[in-house]
């Protein structure tokens, strides 16, 4: 088994390799003067089971091309099996046609990864479960809930917890987390989105008065939804509001917005490498997922059960 990484999140790749007690494969992923990507693998991978760790966050197109070219290089070097480990799957929010003459870009990206030569895909908390069906190759979708629930129990287990979904679409995710937190009660934020990147909280479904609220979501981008939801929850009597999100996209001024919000803390995994602004924010904390990814990779290599990780 070999572990290879592009430039998207080298610290995560090194942490996974350390968990597996393996060195990262010696390879160069660099650019020509015109920004064309060039990949060269400096060691033999013939007949090897290779895992390529590369989230496709900002700059999404560059990181996606790095992933595709690395897969192609491995295929042409006669690797036995190539698994694309994509902790954050970019373009996942374009998983359906929201209107006429619009693309389903998540399906296009799935096709690109497959055609490049990947034999298997490993992701974490896909934005929509149906994206697994976009691939014609085996696809494992890991869940961040076990890592989050363990952190919540250790830090806030003595509070009167209530799990809150920031929108109706996230109720299934919130209910799964609530079940792990000794069947904590559930509330829902009813919001209306006027245009992309902006949201307006309309109502809180459930009694949050006197409760320590845990907002749960898969992606935090602009941060507007979480900040508005936190304000509404505090206005409805919540004692504190903490948000847990798997993927901290946090584009633009999101980190500053979170810092100035009524959120006690935003907890995100390290599926996306933190920018300087995110690292400097006083109320943003990272949860490591290298052990989760490393154990899943070990089980795939051993041909043992991945789903039993979440039993």
Residue 298 covered by a domain: no
Would you call the peptide bond into 171 cis, given omega within 30 degrees of 0 as the criterion? no
Residue 38 and residue 28 in contact, taking contact as beta carbons nearer than 8 Å: yes
Q: What is the pTM of this model?
A: 0.93
35 known member of a binding site: yes
191 assigned to active site: yes
State whether 149 and 278 are in the same domain: yes
Residue 304 covered by a domain: no
State whether 57 and 165 are in the same domain: no
State whether 115 and 237 are in the same domain: no
Last residue of one domain, picked from the residues 142, 171, 198: 142
- pLDDT per residue as tens digits for the range 19-42: 999 999 999 999 999 999 999 999
State whether 149 and 277 are in the same domain: yes
Residue 230 and residue 263 in contact, taking contact as beta carbons nearer than 8 Å: yes
Residue 113 and residue 135 in contact, taking contact as beta carbons nearer than 8 Å: yes
DSSP state of 25: P
Question: Domain range holding 113?
Answer: 2-142
Alpha carbon distance 197, 256 (integer Å): 15
Residue 301 covered by a domain: no
Residue 216 covered by a domain: yes
94 known member of a binding site: yes
State whether 239 and 119 are in the same domain: no
Residue 125 covered by a domain: yes
Nearest Cα to Cα of residue 22 among 43, 46, 8, 38: 43
Task: Identify the pLDDT of residue 200.
Answer: 67
* Domain count along the chain: 2
CATH number, domain of 177, equals: 3.40.50.2020
160 known member of a binding site: no
Secondary structure element (H or E) that encloses residue 276, with its range:
helix 276-280
Task: Identify the pLDDT of residue 168.
Answer: 86
Q: Spot the catalytic one: 2, 80, 107, 191.
A: 191
- pLDDT per residue as tens digits for the range 135-187: 999 999 999 999 999 999 999 988 999 999 998 889 999 999 999 999 999 99
**Which residue shows structure tokens 């060269």?**
40
State whether 108 and 179 are in the same domain: no
State whether 91 and 189 are in the same domain: no
**Which residue shows structure tokens 């154990």?**
295
Residue 79 covered by a domain: yes
93 known member of a binding site: yes
């Amino acid at each position: 088994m070999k572990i290879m990484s592009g430039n998207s999140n080298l610290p995560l790749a090194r942490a996974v390799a350390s968990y597996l007690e393996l060195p990262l494969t010696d390879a160069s992923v660099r650019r020509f003067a015109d920004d064309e990507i060039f990949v060269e693998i400096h060691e033999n991978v013939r007949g090897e089971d290779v895992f390529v760790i590369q989230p496709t966050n900002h700059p999404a197109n560059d990181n996606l091309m790095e992933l595709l070219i690395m897969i192609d290089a491995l295929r042409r070097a006669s690797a036995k099996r190539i698994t694309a480990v994509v902790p954050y799957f970019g373009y996942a929010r374009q998983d359906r046609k929201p209107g006429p003459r619009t693309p389903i870009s998540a399906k296009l990206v799935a096709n690109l990864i497959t055609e490049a030569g990947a034999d298997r895909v490993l992701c974490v908390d896909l934005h929509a479960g149906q994206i697994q069906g976009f691939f014609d190759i085996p696809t494992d979708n890991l869940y961040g809930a076990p890592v989050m629930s363990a952190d919540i129990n250790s830090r806030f287990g003595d509070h009167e917890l209530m799990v809150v979904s920031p929108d109706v679409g996230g109720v299934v995710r919130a209910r799964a987390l609530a079940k792990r937190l000794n069947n904590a009660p559930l509330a829902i934020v009813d919001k209306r989105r006027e245009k992309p990147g902006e949201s307006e909280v309309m109502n809180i479904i459930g009694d949050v008065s006197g409760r320590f609220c845990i907002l749960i979501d898969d992606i935090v981008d602009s941060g507007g939804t979480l900040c508005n939801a936190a304000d509404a929850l505090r206005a409805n009597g919540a004692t504190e509001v903490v948000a847990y999100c798997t993927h901290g996209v946090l584009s633009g001024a999101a980190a500053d917005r979170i810092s100035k919000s009524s959120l006690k803390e935003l907890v995100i995994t390290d599926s996306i490498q933190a920018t300087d602004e995110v690292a400097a924010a006083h109320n943003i904390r990272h949860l490591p997922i290298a052990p989760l990814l490393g154990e899943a990779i070990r089980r795939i290599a051993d041909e043992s059960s991945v789903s039993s990780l979440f039993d």
